[in-house]
Amino acid sequence: MTNAAAQMPAFEVEAQGIIYDAGAAPEAEAVAYCTSLCPLASGTWMAGWQCGPEKQTPKNTIRMARSRDGGESWEQLPHRFETTWDNTPGSFLTAEMAEAEAGRLLMFTTWVNRSEPDRPLFDPDTEGLLRTRLLMAESTDEGDTWGAWSEIGTGDLTGCAITGPIIRWSDELIACTFESFKEFDDPTPVEPAAWLVMSRDGARSFSNPWRVAKHPQQEKYYWDQRLCATSTPGEFINLFWTHSRTEQRDLKVHLQRATVGEDSTEAEAEPVETAIPGQIAASAIAEDGRLLAFVVDRDRPGTMTLWQSNDNGETWPAENKLIVHTHDERAALTQGRENIDFAEYWDDMAKWSFGHPAIRPFGDRWLLAWYAGSPERMSLHWARVVEG
């Protein structure tokens, strides 16, 4: 065991269960994914997800569940969100929530234009996405009822999608993170980037997009950023699923530490590669400063693993990792770890039957969530992790 590993506590799963049981759901709600967790000042926990008959269909919407016993049990909320926006039929991709102030809960989602329902979300020829908008709604009764949608502006950026939790610092600064791609019929080369918009008035207005990460030569794609606020206002830790277009493979998880500012337009720090294998990685910070990463890895077998580092991300000792979930992926995938065909990889993303990690502090413990199941039925799972 290394010195770094010896100085860190071991994690163990104290309890686990189901947030949403897809096995008991109607066919129209058989698949749940895009997991989110949100603790409220009252002690209530909220969970959100995308729900539909399959992944990424024109009928997909968002659903919520609520726990008032620390995550031990969850009740599905009956509210149904309006999927039509600006008189246009649509679907939703995400259900991220944040409490702007006590008793005022916000829902953030990506709306997808489904006016041509036969079109897929991704065009393998142009590598563009259907037209999207970022929307927000408000609840003052812990999710029982919600107000109308309002749009969050993204300037001239297109192909935008919310990518992770909504971040709130101690000075009430709020950030909504998203990534930009390009639209379905756009023939120009794709130039993806990670962004956020900020609010200092309780999400009543937002800044212009602030660039978090973009590779200058487009050799690396920084996907699915997951930010975590530090105790310093505006500072964050960020983890990326990082894909090398030139090498046609996923790289190891990349880490970034940066600070947003009113006088800057982009992050000064570039993401750096860690030793963690995998794709989407949710970040967290322990009270003693340790960095945590809850990561989905699509090797065989697939795993959901909690990693930790006590040297600001320089090392992530494998001796201290905790495998929270092991998965037997039964979807008919076409792409492996090397020589990835980009268009086919997008098709595989719509087949994967586990992933989307979420992690939140829960007193001296951690609450984790993810989706997992069969290609036909995907449920939401939770686990409470404690230092052993």
Question: Which residue, 79, 83, 70, is CA-closest to 37?
Answer: 70
Is the preceding peptide bond at 301 cis, omega within 30 degrees of 0? yes
Kindly state the DSSP code that residue 343 receives in the 8-state scheme: H
Confidence of residue 2 (pLDDT cuts 50, 70, 90): low
Kindly state the DSSP code that residue 166 receives in the 8-state scheme: P
Q: Is the dihedral of CA 120, 192, 38, 176 positive or negative?
A: negative
- Is residue 3 predicted with pLDDT exceeding 70? no
Structurally, at CATH architecture level, domain 3-387 sits in: 6 Propeller (2.120)
Q: What are phi and psi of 346, to 5 degrees?
A: -60, -40
Alpha carbon separation from 349 to 28, 105, 183 (Å, rounded): 20, 30, 18
Question: Which residue, 183, 243, 180, is CA-closest to 212?
Answer: 180
Alpha carbon separation from 158 to 73, 189, 354 (Å, rounded): 39, 13, 28
pTM score = 0.97
Alpha carbon separation from 254 to 29, 143, 222, 239, 368 (Å, rounded): 34, 34, 8, 6, 21
Q: For the beta carbon of residue 168, count every other beta carbon within 10 angstroms.
A: 19
pLDDT on residue 337: 85
pLDDT, one tens digit per residue, over 191-228 is 999 999 999 999 999 999 999 999 999 999 999 999 99
Tell me the average pLDDT across 127-144: 97
- Is residue 175 predicted with pLDDT exceeding 80? yes
In the block, residue with structure tokens 């189901």:
18
Tell me the average pLDDT across 62-91: 97
